[in-house]
Amino acid sequence: MPYAVSKSIVRREAVGRLPKSDRALHPLLRRIFLQRDINGLEDLDHSLAGLYPPHNLKDIDKAAALLCCAVEQGWRVLIVGDYDTDGATASAVAILGLKSLGATSVEYLVPNRFDYGYGLSVEIAKVALTKEPDLVITVDNGISSLAGVQCLREAGVEVIVTDHHLAGVELPAASAIVNPNQPGCEFPSKMLAGVGVMFYLLLALRSLLRAKGWFERNQGKAPNLAHLLDLVALGTVADVVPLDHNNRILVAQGIARIHKGACRPGIKALLAVAGKDYRNVSSSDLGFVVAPRLNAAGRLDDISMGIECLLADTENDAKEYAEILHEINVERRRIEQKMQHQAVEVVDKLEASKETAGICLHHTDWHQGITGLVASRVRERYHQPAIVFANNSEGKLTGSARSVPGLHIRDLIEAIATGQPGLVEKFGGHAMAAGLTLDPGNLEPFSRLFHAAVSDHFLGQPAGNFVYSDGPLEPEFFTREIAELLRNAAPWGQQFSAPVFDNEFRVISQKVVGEQHLKLRLATPDRVLEGIAFRQLQPGEEMPKLERIHAAFQLDLNEFRGAKTLQLIIEYMEPVTNTVGR
């Protein structure tokens, strides 16, 4: 049932310090920004001049010097990427950026997750060596690839690791490491995505090449690397990294380029197959429309198809790739829905026995590439940390973990692995998402320890299940103009969330669409509104009759055949049973 797990709607408090005399903001936006710790209009300035400079990134000068040699001496450069959208965009940014700066030989290699697993493994390093590179650059991976980096270095290959994931106790013996989260790095923002780190390395390389007179001798002038920002924006949003001010600049600049059509044909094509107009794209469209179609290739097959789509130079080529990616995504949805239904059946039984503090699930038929999505759905439905396991080709279990606020999932897995040596073969990740590998025989003891660790962390109490609201929306603000204002006010995303309001409504009508979603007609004292609540039901599940609801929602515009209508995107709702005096 949609209300199986109740939530609390918590209204945000003002934490920012915008001056009261500032009349440049709409009063609704002023309220929203105060609730997101905005202290002045400079925090809302998305000009490129506000970006943190590259020089504070540890080792970036060393990495730029190596790349400078690669450009000047015509080295063979190989990019080793990751199989998600951040990895795909980082690979594309590396290839396009290096070529624009004068590199003559740049290729990419992305491990197939089913054959090689994540990152620069020894096996992938050996594949890389068959291409005879002079320099290997990892993007969105590599910080934990000790053996893979060592394999390349012993073969005489220079290695630059660019990554943003948390570093372990030991760092790889790379020629240079650029990662804001490595020990000793003083870069002010630790929130860069993998694609952002690679973009910064290109900025440093351009600066060095310019200082050495490379462009005057060869190309005439230095290229404007802003042409890569559409890809940087896509990868940043897709990887759900916190949108601090620095990341908001990167995303806002990338979206502005997309609005003008000054973006990769592949991004336009991926929006088009989903029926989206690039001129009206928002950060949520990048995360929920474009990214899933790229990720689907990496989940079911090979992310190379997605990278080729991003690298395509013509609209026709991009369209062909985008249509294939769209079809792969349709199949991904089918598999995910089946796995999700099976997972919910199991967890409902666990819930009845009060054993849902830290959920571990496994099924022999589950698809390895979809486990992360199912873990996210389980986490959302039950608001518990969840790990979903599938069998891999080596007879092991690979798990995708998703956490809830207040629990650092990677650190918790590390604590279990440290306390029980040999139980976890390998793991990695960050606060909200992680991956791990187990021997099948270790699943039961690991699940038991995970359940106990989560219970201890929350002291036996349920994890806080909250929907944060910016408060009730005033009647005069239920308009298309306000919805447009909110959409364009900022690039919304992780830790800079889109505005959510909460009001009570009378339900005029309701119907199920797409088996899982609920479409509503809602009434306020002075108007009728359309609303949609996604993923409210399991297939075949019946919806109780609603008369009045308290809903937390985003104000949005539904675009259909060129017409825009106001629509509420309902994030959470609960029936209002006490209607006395209403």
444 located within any domain? yes
Q: Are residues 125 and 190 in the same domain?
A: yes
**Confidence band of 120 (pLDDT split at 50, 70, 90):** very high
Q: What percent of the chain has pLDDT over 90?
A: 75
Q: Are residues 168 and 22 in the same domain?
A: no
Q: Are residues 110 and 19 in the same domain?
A: no
Q: Are residues 71 and 140 in the same domain?
A: yes
pLDDT digits (tens, 9 = 90+) for 257-284: 999 999 999 999 999 999 999 999 999 9
Distance CA 478, CA 26 (A): 15
pLDDT digits (tens, 9 = 90+) for 327-369: 999 999 999 989 988 998 888 877 655 556 889 999 999 999 9
Mark which of 200, 223, 246 sits at the end of a domain. Answer: 223
Q: What's phi and psi for 476, nearest 5 deg?
A: -70, -10
Q: What is the pTM of this model?
A: 0.90
Mark which of 400, 427, 457 sits at the end of a domain. Answer: 457
Q: What's phi and psi for 488, nearest 5 deg?
A: -95, 0
Q: At what angle do helices 315-352 and 304-311 cross, to 10 degrees?
A: 140
Q: Are residues 24 and 75 in the same domain?
A: no
344 located within any domain? no
Q: The tokens 């002075």 sit on which residue?
A: 526
Q: Are residues 204 and 88 in the same domain?
A: yes
Q: What is the mean pLDDT of residues 505-524?
A: 91
Q: Are 431 and 403 in contact (CB under 8 A)?
A: yes
Structure tokens at 406: 């207040």
Q: What percent of the chain has pLDDT over 70?
A: 95
Q: Are residues 499 and 410 in the same domain?
A: no
Q: Are residues 40 and 71 in the same domain?
A: no
Q: What's phi and psi for 151, nearest 5 deg?
A: -60, -45
The pLDDT score that the predictor gives to residue 4 is 43
CA distances from 449 to 255, 347, 400, 444, 463 (A): 44, 18, 17, 9, 17
**Confidence band of 510 (pLDDT split at 50, 70, 90):** very high
403 located within any domain? yes
Indicate whether 23 pLDDT > 70.
Answer: no
14 located within any domain? yes
Range of the domain at 157: 51-223
142 located within any domain? yes
375 located within any domain? yes
Q: Are 490 and 247 in contact (CB under 8 A)?
A: no
CATH number at residue 55: 3.90.1640.30
Q: Are residues 16 and 87 in the same domain?
A: no
Q: Are residues 501 and 365 in the same domain?
A: no
Q: Is 178 helix (H, G, I), strand (E, B) or coil?
A: strand
- Type of residue at 366: W
Mark which of 197, 223, 249 sits at the end of a domain. Answer: 223
278 located within any domain? no
| Close Cβ partners of 171 (under 8 Å, ≥ 6 residues apart) | 143, 146, 177, 182, 183
423 located within any domain? yes
Structure tokens at 479: 């308009």
pLDDT digits (tens, 9 = 90+) for 569-578: 999 998 998 6
- The tally of domains found in the chain comes to 3
CATH number at residue 552: 2.40.50.460
CATH number at residue 418: 3.10.310.30
Q: Are residues 391 and 532 in the same domain?
A: no
Q: Are residues 412 and 513 in the same domain?
A: no
